Amino acid sequence: MLTLYLPLAYSSRYRRAASRTLGLAPGSGLMLTPASAPEGPLLSASPTANCGWHTRGVPQSPDPRGPDEPCVLLKLGEIVLKGRNRQQFERILQGNIRAAVREIGVPVELRQREGVILLRVADGEQRGEPGWTQAAAQIAERVRDVPGIVRVCQPLRVVKTPEAVTAAAVALTKGRTGTFAIRARRRDKRFGLTSAQLSVLVGREIVEAHGLGVNLSRPDTEVFIEVDQHEVFVFTEGVVAVGGLPVGMSGRGVALMSGGIDSPVAAYRMMRRGLRCFFLHFSGMPLTGPESIYKAYALVRGLDRFQGGSRLFVVPFGKAQQALASSGADRLQIVAQRRLMLKTGAALARRLSATALITGDSLGQVSSQTLANLTALDDATKLPILRPLIGWDKSEIMAEARRIRTLAISELPDQDCCTLLTPRRVETRARLDDLRRIEGRLDVEDLADTLAASAQEYRQEEP
């Protein structure tokens, strides 16, 4: 016999709907019991069922605050596929989430579930209903840029009864037109209704309340219902987030930030793979003005929302370029100065305990990025040089820059150091012997250390 523990105020309409959903005829063994039942789920088919939650050391107490609480639900991606070190990924992600939300000044409570993270507004009741909803929206907007999260949802957190779930779903679909579909999921298998039964029960009430049609393949509105351990989440949509891995999980790297379109996208792609980036910009000063520094700072400030705590280092590179030109670099000028930039980046990386360099190179995009020249650049340092855009064309890079909102800044005019002292013809097949001969005239290793030591740091302003 299946026993459903229901509140005394449970209406006869819901009793009939539950019976129809379960496919039971009158008198066939369905017993509706008032809410004097033992503590636990309000719907119970097996009191001995186990849940097997992954708490990861995060508090899991029910702490109900009443129905229809606006909150934020974060869906995790490839983190859930990790093995024994999954807890380390989750701990880093939780720290990144807390740091990101701290910027907007909204106190949150974070709770880890199996494959999801729940964020609740800690002082929601004090804010009142409009303020509570607004605070949840602020949290959702901020955390969508945190790598490691694939989807951000803003559900209503309701008590664990079919009546509360149905009421929330009916309220969320009010004013909607067209067709709808219910997408129900039971994380807690102790819940008395299966996902299919819950979908039928809620769907029938929405049809009766609003007269919407049902379309399970291409609905105009999707209502998601997720039955969790202590509560149920009901929502109608979600926003795609960054995805990838939590920043800091893959180590540290120094990104060479030119101020153009490519390098910010390259840094973003590596942050999305869990690499914390420091930024190194080479200005043409004293031969140029400070415009390129302003651009680099603005780009780093825009990228900071993906990792937080970004640091920008600026090296005055104009005199070093003059020295390379005086040493007879000629057609090798561009490749030689890029090798010097990489050596300077490696020297700075040693100070910052970084273990890689990141550039925005794209194979064959310009004459200095031929395969032969890239091979010559790899010889400049023992650190690995990461080129996440190596197979991208310019239109793909620009589309990504537009999506992460760096394109408009990159297109601002400035006098870049790479445009200084550029020869009429650039060597496309640089030979290492020729490059080393030029570098030997300048004692380039010491020059790189001197340039790294002269780097001026620009920190992002505190929010």
Express each pLDDT in 74-103 by its tens digit. 999 899 888 888 999 999 999 999 999 999
In the structure, what pLDDT confidence band is assigned to residue 158 with cuts at 50, 70 and 90?
A: very high
Q: What is the pLDDT of residue 40?
A: 37
Burial annotation 206-220 (CB, 10 A radius, 16+ → b, else e): beeeeebeeeeeebe
Is the per-residue pLDDT at 29 higher than 60? no
What average pLDDT does this structure show over 65-81? 84
Rounded to whole angstroms, the Cα distance separating 404 from 410 reads 12
Range from 122-126, 284-288, 452-456 that averages highest in pLDDT: 452-456
What average pLDDT does this structure show over 181-192? 91
Rounded to whole angstroms, the Cα distance separating 233 from 142 reads 20
What average pLDDT does this structure show over 446-459? 93
Between the alpha carbon of residue 393 and those of residues 143, 364, 366, 418, the distances in Å are 30, 9, 11, 21
What average pLDDT does this structure show over 52-81? 63
Is the per-residue pLDDT at 22 higher than 80? no
Q: Is the pTM of this model over 0.75?
A: yes
Q: What is the pLDDT of residue 289?
A: 82
Strand order in the sheet with 108-112: 108-112, 116-121, 72-76, 149-153, 238-240
Q: What is the pLDDT of residue 229?
A: 84
Lowest mean pLDDT among 37-41, 198-202, 308-312: 37-41
What average pLDDT does this structure show over 304-325? 93
In the structure, what pLDDT confidence band is assigned to residue 192 with cuts at 50, 70 and 90?
A: confident
Three-state secondary structure call for residue 252 = strand
In the structure, what pLDDT confidence band is assigned to residue 461 with cuts at 50, 70 and 90?
A: low
In the structure, what pLDDT confidence band is assigned to residue 21 with cuts at 50, 70 and 90?
A: very low
Q: What is the pLDDT of residue 36?
A: 34
Q: What is the pLDDT of residue 20?
A: 52
- Sequence-distant (≥ 6) Cβ neighbours of residue 120 within 8 angstroms: 69, 71, 72, 108, 109, 111, 157
For residue 423, say if its preceding peptide bond is cis, omega within 30 degrees of 0.
no
Mean pLDDT of the chain, nearest integer? 85
Rounded to whole angstroms, the Cα distance separating 59 from 72 reads 17
Q: What is the pLDDT of residue 70?
A: 93
Q: What is the pLDDT of residue 425?
A: 82
Report which of 59, 125, 115, 72 is spatially closest to residue 90, judged by C-alpha positions. 115
Rounded to whole angstroms, the Cα distance separating 11 from 9 reads 6
The dihedrals phi and psi of 108, each to the nearest 5 degrees, come to -130, 155
Predicted confidence (pLDDT) per residue in 396-414, tens digit:
999 999 999 999 999 998 7
What average pLDDT does this structure show over 146-173? 94
Q: CA quadruple 350, 352, 355, 357: dihedral positive or negative?
A: negative
| ∠ CA 181-182-188, rounded to 5° | 165
